[in-house]
């Protein structure tokens, strides 16, 4: 009976090992595309190295998932089309999950929560916007009506800068294009440059991106007004991957879940943003 029990246990162990081998897919080198110009999510150093919250996160994901990786810089406007065409395996560039994007790509689980807001120039006509930092959710109809009406009164005849093909551009075109000029730019830093030069009155972007910029230019700009989340702005950032790649999605999700559970993602968030923007378990 003992020999039979040992035999049964050995067979069971072999089956488990076989199952693990099947699940541990060899991904080769996973290629991630990023903008390398969206601090503190990602940015390029003078020496050409890509650093930031997301590169640190990818390094930890690769370690836990057991694959090699590389990160390449791409223009934001062509990033999702490039993923669809197979130029790389994934996009990690503060990409917010929206129903429109889910039509063409799949997503990992979310790794940040998402709030968008405004930065203005101190001493300008729109120095301080209404809202005092209050976050309005898209499903709050009364709150949206109140906040948008207040912003329309402030932005009438003004110009708002935003990066092209972003959720913030969608938001502005939906809610404020009837009173303000919406000026789009290929890269995020260009929006801030025109704000400092007085060519635009405000910039809209994710608050995590805005906060990093304001911290460096606290004497000249404000993060001000309402924050918005949900609806066309989606719910949070995730890694975009090609459709029908369940193995890579499972590997990314497993690594991210473990990083959220043990606090690693929270630590990276606080390192780069100065606050915890990681989602709850």
pLDDT per residue, tens digit, the chain (281 aa), is: 333 333 334 434 433 433 333 344 678 999 999 999 999 999 999 999 999 999 999 999 999 999 999 999 999 999 999 999 999 999 999 998 988 899 999 999 999 988 999 999 999 999 999 999 999 999 999 999 999 999 999 999 999 999 999 999 999 999 999 999 999 999 999 999 999 999 999 999 999 889 889 989 999 999 999 999 999 998 789 999 999 999 999 999 999 999 999 999 999 999 998 888 888 87
With H, G, I as helix, E, B as strand and everything else as coil, classify residue 176: coil
CATH numeric code, 116-233: 3.40.190.10
Question: 183 by DSSP, 3-state: which?
Answer: strand
Q: Looking at the domain covering 29-113+235-273, what would its CATH class be?
A: alpha beta
Query: Would the CA dihedral through 88, 90, 92, 94 be positive or negative?
Result: positive
| Helical pair 53-65 and 246-261, crossing angle rounded to 10 deg | 110
Interior CA angle at 82 toward 78 and 88, to 5°?
135
Per domain, the residue ranges of the chain are: 29-113+235-273, 116-233
The backbone torsions φ and ψ at residue 83, rounded to the nearest 5 degrees and listed phi first, read -65, -45
Domains 29-113+235-273 and 116-233 share a fold: yes
pTM value is 0.75
Give the whole-angstrom CA distance, residue 222 versus residue 119: 5
Secondary structure tally for the chain: helices H, strands E: 10, 14
């Amino acid at each position: 009976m003992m020999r039979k029990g040992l035999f049964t246990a050995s067979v069971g162990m072999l089956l488990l090992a076989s199952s693990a081998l099947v699940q541990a897919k060899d991904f080769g080198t996973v290629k991630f595309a990023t903008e390398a110009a969206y601090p503190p999510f990602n940015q390029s150093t003078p020496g050409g190295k890509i650093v930031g919250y997301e590169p640190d996160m990818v390094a930890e994901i690769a370690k836990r998932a057991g694959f090699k990786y590389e990160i390449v810089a791409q223009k934001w406007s062509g990033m999702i089309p490039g993923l669809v065409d197979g130029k790389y395996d994934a996009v990690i560039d503060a990409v917010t999950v929206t129903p429109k994007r889910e039509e063409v790509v799949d997503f990992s689980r979310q790794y940040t929560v998402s709030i968008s807001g405004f930065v203005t120039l101190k001493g300008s006509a729109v120095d301080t916007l209404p809202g005092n930092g209050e976050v309005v959710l898209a499903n709050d109809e009364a709150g949206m009506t109140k906040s948008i009406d207040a912003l329309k009164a402030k932005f009438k005849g003004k110009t708002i800068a935003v990066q092209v093909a972003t959720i913030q551009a969608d938001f502005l075109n939906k809610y404020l294009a009837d009173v303000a000029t919406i000026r789009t730019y290929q890269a995020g830093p260009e929006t801030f440059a025109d704000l400092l030069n007085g060519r635009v009155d405000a910039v809209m972007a994710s608050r995590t991106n805005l906060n990093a910029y304001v911290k460096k230019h606290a004497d000249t700009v404000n993060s001000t007004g309402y924050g918005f989340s949900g609806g066309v702005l989606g719910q949070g950032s995730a890694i975009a991957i090609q459709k029908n790649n369940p193995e890579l999605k499972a590997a990314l999700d497993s690594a991210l879940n473990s990083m959220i559970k043990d606090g690693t993602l929270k630590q990276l968030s606080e390192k780069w943003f100065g606050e915890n923007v990681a989602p709850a378990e």
